[in-house]
């Protein structure tokens, strides 16, 4: 899993906690190194968390590791997560609260998936989205 951290670190702790719950190999924080660990509920002590300064660095790493980058955001043209086969070797990439995936993140992604929502809210936060996306991958490849 990876998450962008350019202006707001509101959901990064929850992403780290979810990564631990679903046994993700690691979480990469792209952008600012500093983030609010409170939401991680101490899982950051035993979940592998790394930092990369740029999306270019993340994309190069993913290529070396043979991981397809799958962006998760409710953008026009995104394919519904619930009806998409995720690659077994993938890196789920989340944007930040508000702006979602940056333009660079969209370009780095092999595909962008959206999470269907039926209520009046425009979006769910990255922490919640990370749990839904990880569980989807788990159902498809590990259960």
User: Domain residues of the chain, as ranges?
Assistant: 2-141
Question: 121 pLDDT band (50/70/90 cuts)?
Answer: confident
Flag whether pLDDT at 8 surpasses 80. Answer: no
| 102-to-10, 77, 88 alpha-carbon distances in Å | 16, 15, 24
Question: CATH for 2-141?
Answer: 3.40.1280.10
Give the integer Cα–Cα distance in Å for 37 and 100: 20
pLDDT one-digit tens code per residue, 69-112: 999 999 999 999 999 999 999 999 999 877 889 999 999 999 99
Flag whether pLDDT at 9 surpasses 80. Answer: no
CB atoms within 10 A of CB 74: 19
Question: 116 pLDDT band (50/70/90 cuts)?
Answer: very high
Quote the pLDDT of residue 99: 85
């Amino acid at each position: 899993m990876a998450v962008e951290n350019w202006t707001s670190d509101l959901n990064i702790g929850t992403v780290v906690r979810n990564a631990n719950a679903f046994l993700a190999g690691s979480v990469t924080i792209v952008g600012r190194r500093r983030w609010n660990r409170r939401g991680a509920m101490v899982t950051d002590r035993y979940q592998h968390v790394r930092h990369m300064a740029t999306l270019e660095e993340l994309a190069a790493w993913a290529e070396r590791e043979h991981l397809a980058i799958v962006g998760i955001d409710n953008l026009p043209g995104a394919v519904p997560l619930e009806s998409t086969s995720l690659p077994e070797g993938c890196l789920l990439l989340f944007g930040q609260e508000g702006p979602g995936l940056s333009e660079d993140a969209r370009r780095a992604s092999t595909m962008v998936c959206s999470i269907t929502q039926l209520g009046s809210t425009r979006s769910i936060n990255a922490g919640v989205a990370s749990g839904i996306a990880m569980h989807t991958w788990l159902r498809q490849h590990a259960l």
